[in-house]
């Protein structure tokens, strides 16, 4: 049911510059891996590479499942109603008769029932992120990439999203989550990958990472100093 992620010499160049890599990653097949690092470190790029949206310049990626989903840093809302954004993916997986009921259940869970008929693009940023996560989960992925899924959420919604993500992980979905929120990383991470200028500075269990980060870059980042 779960999906390990390994890479060998994974690298991506653009405009003659190395953006990411070479990376040799070995992510555990279960639980939540948190990807951290300063702006421009290459976190979003790495998720896109792993998810297969862009082709690496060099190296290999080994992932044991095709059942993947991703929530983008800027969620993509179809120009349809809130409900139709869910129905779009639900009807690819489920018999027609079940779709509407499932859609209603999801809307209730994410507290967007009252907005079901409104255009999804009229939702607030945080509501869009909630909907995008629910839509990704509706595809029942074995591997889920989340790019800053709570970046514009209020504290309560952040905790609600974390609970959803942790439940999915507990039910067997492997999650790779990017966040700048150290508190969130502490709450959800099993292991942490710290990325800096496209390179992995550190990959350790969450407890170790937060208690005694090895790399100077990670220590500086956690202290809120500018990492160069």
Ligand X SMILES: Nc1ncnc2c1ncn2[C@@H]1O[C@H](COP(=O)(O)OP(=O)(O)OP(=O)(O)O)[C@@H](O)[C@H]1O
Query: Where do contacts with Mg ion occur on this chain (CB under 5 A)?
Result: 44, 73
Which tokens hold the place of 82?
A: 């809130």
Stretch that binds ligand X, among 37-45, 105-113, 155-163, 185-193 (CB under 6 A): 37-45
Which of 139, 152, 157, 164 lies at the binding interface for another protein (CB under 8 A)? 139
Q: How many residues sit in the footprint of ligand X (CB under 6 A)?
A: 12
CA distance linking residue 30 with residue 49, whole number of Å? 20
Confirm if 136 and 176 have CB atoms less than 8 A apart. no
Of 163, 211, 214, 215, nearest to 184 by C-alpha is 163
Q: Which of residues 29-48 bind another protein (CB under 8 A)?
A: 48
Q: Strands 143-147, 174-178: parallel, antiparallel or unpaired by DSSP?
A: parallel
Residue 55 as a binder of ligand X (CB under 6 A): the answer is: no
Residue 69 as a binder of another protein (CB under 8 A): the answer is: yes
Residue 150 as a binder of ligand X (CB under 6 A): the answer is: no
- Coil, strand or helix at 84: helix
- Choose from ligand X, another protein, Mg ion, none: what does 41 bind? Cβ within 5-8 Å by kind: ligand X
CA distance linking residue 18 with residue 31, whole number of Å? 30
Q: How many residues sit in the footprint of another protein (CB under 8 A)?
A: 21
Q: Is the peptide bond before 22 cis (omega within 30 degrees of 0)?
A: yes
Q: In this complex, which beta carbon is closest to another protein, that of residue 141 or of residue 198? A: 141
Confirm if 203 and 194 have CB atoms less than 8 A apart. yes
Q: Which of residues 75-94 bind another protein (CB under 8 A)?
A: 76, 78-81, 88-89, 92
Q: In this complex, which beta carbon is closest to ligand X, that of residue 74 or of residue 93? A: 74
- Greatest Cα pair distance, the chain, in angstroms, is 56
Stretch that binds another protein, among 24-32, 49-57, 150-158, 211-219 (CB under 8 A): 49-57
DSSP 48-101: HHHHTSS--SEEEEEES-S-EEEE-SS----SSBHHHHHHHHHHHHS-HHHHHH
CA distance linking residue 228 with residue 223, whole number of Å? 14
Q: In this complex, which beta carbon is closest to ligand X, that of residue 112 or of residue 193? A: 193
C-beta of 188: minimal distance to Mg ion in Å? Answer: 18
Interacting residues toward another protein by CB under 8 A: 48, 51-53, 66, 68-70, 72, 76, 78-81, 88-89, 92, 119, 121-122, 139
């Amino acid at each position: 049911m779960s999906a390990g992620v390994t890479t060998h010499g994974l690298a991506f160049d653009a405009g003659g510059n190395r953006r990411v890599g070479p990376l040799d990653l070995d992510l555990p097949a279960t639980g939540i891996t948190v990807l951290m690092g300063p702006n421009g470190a290459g976190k979003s790029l790495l998720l896109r590479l792993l998810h297969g949206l862009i082709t690496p310049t060099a190296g290999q990626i080994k992932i044991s499942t095709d059942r993947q989903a991703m929530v983008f840093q800027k969620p993509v809302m179809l120009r349809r109603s809130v409900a139709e954004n869910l129905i779009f993916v639900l009807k690819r997986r489920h018999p027609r008769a079940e779709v509407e009921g499932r859609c209603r259940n999801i809307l209730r869970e994410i507290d967007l029932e009252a907005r079901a008929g409104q255009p999804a693009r009229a939702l607030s940023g945080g509501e869009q992120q909630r909907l995008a996560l629910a839509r990704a989960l509706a595809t029942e992925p074995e591997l889920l990439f989340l790019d800053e899924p709570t970046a514009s959420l209020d504290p309560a919604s952040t905790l609600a999203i974390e609970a959803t993500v942790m439940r999915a992980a507990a039910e067997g979905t492997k999650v790779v989550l990017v966040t700048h929120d150290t508190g969130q990383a502490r709450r959800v991470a099993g292991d942490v990958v710290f990325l800096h200028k496209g390179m992995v500075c550190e990959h350790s269990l969450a407890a170790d990472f937060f208690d005694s980060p090895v790399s100077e870059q990670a220590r500086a980042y956690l202290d809120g100093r500018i990492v160069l």
